[in-house]
Amino acid sequence: MALAGLRELGMNDPSKREKLVTFVEVERCIADAIQIVTGCTVGRRNLKLVNVGKFAATFVDVSNGNGVRISSRKDARASAMRFAERNGWITSREQIEEFSEREKEIIIRAYSEMPESEMFVAEKVRVNLPKRQHRSGLKEPVVCSACDELIFDRMEIVNDKRVFCKSCASGAYYERRPTDSWA
């Protein structure tokens, strides 16, 4: 998937990836593979996780907003099994228990050898990425007026001329507890 995205953007050469930002649409092993192949990382701010539960990723050249979204075909698993049968790795689909370790091995082998067109759908897209989301140097942090924590990369929300972090403005994913209690 990552190799296809890089190829479509003309970024096979790692030296041409300075303007690459990648959006991964699932929190699974595919995110790790895309990170390794592209060199994009969360820490460098050029790997974005947009977890919508899809085996898909969008590769974007932020210099012009042009991108390509590569998604897994809905019939990719079945195609992998047909590919395995054509190549004599298995004799029939019925002999393999679904989601068994053997099926996983066969699918991984098939995915490494079968044509991309049997695994992926590629579509050209345009991504309007705000400048604050581009990979760039550090910006001067600001302080949340509610929790007194630093906010980096212009991610603050200003309300009534007061600065807030997203957690204080919209609710956090965590709940603060007294320091002496885990209950």
Distance, in Å, from the CA atom of 147 to the CA atom of 168, rounded to the nearest integer, reads 7
Q: Which one, of 28, 70, 57, 62, lies nearest residue 45 by Cα?
A: 62
Mean pLDDT, the chain, rounded, equals: 88
pTM of the model: 0.76
pLDDT score, position 126 = 93
Q: Where are the beta strands (DSSP E) in the chain?
A: 20-24, 47-49, 56-61, 66-72, 120-126, 142-143, 150-151, 157-159, 162-164
CATH number where 126 lies: 3.30.1330.20
Classify the phi-psi angles of 171: left when phi > 0, otherwise alpha if psi is within -120 to 50, otherwise beta: left
**Do residues 125 and 50 share a domain?**
yes
- Look at 15-29, 49-63, 132-146 and tell me which has the smallest mean pLDDT: 132-146
**Do residues 125 and 59 share a domain?**
yes
pLDDT digits 0-9 by tens, 83-135: 998 998 887 655 566 667 888 888 889 999 999 999 999 999 999 876 655 55
Domain that holds residue 152: 138-183
Distance, in Å, from the CA atom of 37 to the CA atom of 171, rounded to the nearest integer, reads 35
**Do residues 99 and 172 share a domain?**
no
**Do residues 46 and 127 share a domain?**
yes
pLDDT score, position 83 = 92
**Do residues 59 and 145 share a domain?**
no
Are 118 and 79 in contact, with CB atoms under 8 Å apart? yes
Distance, in Å, from the CA atom of 133 to the CA atom of 44, rounded to the nearest integer, reads 11
**Do residues 14 and 33 share a domain?**
yes
**Do residues 48 and 127 share a domain?**
yes
**Do residues 69 and 80 share a domain?**
no
179/161: higher pLDDT = 161
